[in-house]
Amino acid sequence: MLPWIIIGICASIVSAIPPKVIDLSNRGMKKEEFFTKIQKQINLAEVTDLNLRGNEFDTFLDCSTYLENLKTLDLSQNHLQRFFFLCKDEYNLQQLNISHNKLEYIDENGFNNRIPKLTILDVSWNKLSVVNETMLQHFKVLEYLSLANNPINEGIHENAFWNLVALRYLNLSNISASYFSSEMFKTLSNLSNLDLSSNPISVVPLLPANLEELDISDTHVCRLQGVYLPRLRELKMNNMRQLRQLILNDLENFTSLETLTLDGSKNLAYLTKWRPYETILLPRLQRLSMANCALKTIEYNLASIIPRVPILNLENNPWNCDCKMKWLHASNETRIIARQIKCRTPEQHAGKELSEVPSYYLACQEDSSSVLRPVLWASILTLLLAIMLVSIFFLLRGPLSHWDWDIRRKNHDTVSYTNVDETSNDLVKILALGEGGERNDE
């Protein structure tokens, strides 16, 4: 029994020994100095964490060093154009950071079956233009992958991620992609965090239903209609230049959403709900941030959502404090919201908190002009009718003058014929009188 106790004690002591960390960062060191000089002073075979960040390595070759126990390797912020894992069948490497380098392409000598235990890989801020179907095929336990800030454009093969079945975090921010294939993420059933921000995409691709965090900030997406993400807890839509209105009904399938941020979406002027919703819309929403947008009002149809959000950020919007905002004076709960709203218009309320303005002073411009509107329309119609009559008069002026001339000519002819008739009658009378005289003589 005693030997087993001793073995257990030794095992616990070994597990309690902290990892051996070597920090050689930010020394401006070239690879020749490290491989020929520095590593002779260090027993790298015992090192578990090696930090070579911020030096001047242009390549890194595993054959020139001893990495048997290495679990973490940081080669970020160097001048790497290539790196190799060639000289041992398998390494225990779990975390590799090669971000902020000059890598244009990574071949099978870099990412291969010699580092199958890799769980964290950061390749961001390089010059990659292609991610082919074999580049990541050996990383079946990889959980974190960042390809952010590479000029990849449309260079990701649609099945490049299919073998990453354990992947939980994927960062594709700012890779200049205007489109993501609907097949690209279909095998990533464990993916919980996806960053597609700062890409010129206008449509959200088909995403894994288990996704919990999504960032589509600084994209061209205008609508989220039809997106089904029932487990999504956080949605970031900051700095959305094309977003002019957010229809909350589009988020009806986001039943687990807790955080929604729209900060800095400068053209976002309307937050609305189009139709009545049978159940509670966004039932778990805990934080809503709409700072630095273009919002002018919060309409009453949002009364079922806005007041029940515990954390609300409405700062720096051009709020118009009119009759549409009266409902925020209705209860203590909504008056707390009114304290966050600083009026910009109308002029008499500018600079005041909405809560400081009595509700009977919150008037709409439409109210003051409602009496004048019928008079205005009547005047416009009268003017249009007058213009039509004048137009008709000038159009018929020529035909009317010709018709009048014809009438006058006809009248002149009739007078002439009348005179002839009257003359004839006088002749008849003279002849009649002549015959009478002759008869009397007889």
By C-alpha distance, which of 199, 198, 146, 205 is closest to 170? 146
Burial pattern 410-424, b for ≥16 Cβ within 10 A else e, equals: eeeeeeeeeeeeeee
Retrieve residue 27's tokens: 């020394």
Contacts of 41 by beta carbon, 8 Å cutoff, 6+ apart: none
CB atoms within 10 A of CB 66: 15
* CA gap 365, 433 in Å, rounded: 96
pLDDT category, 374, cuts 50, 70, 90?
A: low
pLDDT category, 417, cuts 50, 70, 90?
A: very low
List beta partners, residue 49: 21, 72
Phi, psi of 21 (to 5 degrees): -110, 130
Higher pLDDT, 275 or 330: 330
What is the greatest pairwise CA distance in the chain? 193
Burial pattern 47-58, b for ≥16 Cβ within 10 A else e, equals: bebbbbbbbbbe
What is the per-residue pLDDT across 124-182, written as a single tens digit (0 to 9) for each? 999 999 999 999 999 999 999 999 999 999 999 999 999 999 999 999 999 999 999 98
* CA gap 215, 94 in Å, rounded: 26
pLDDT category, 384, cuts 50, 70, 90?
A: confident
Percent of the chain whose predicted confidence (pLDDT) is above 90: 64
Retrieve residue 1's tokens: 């029994």
CB atoms within 10 A of CB 357: 19
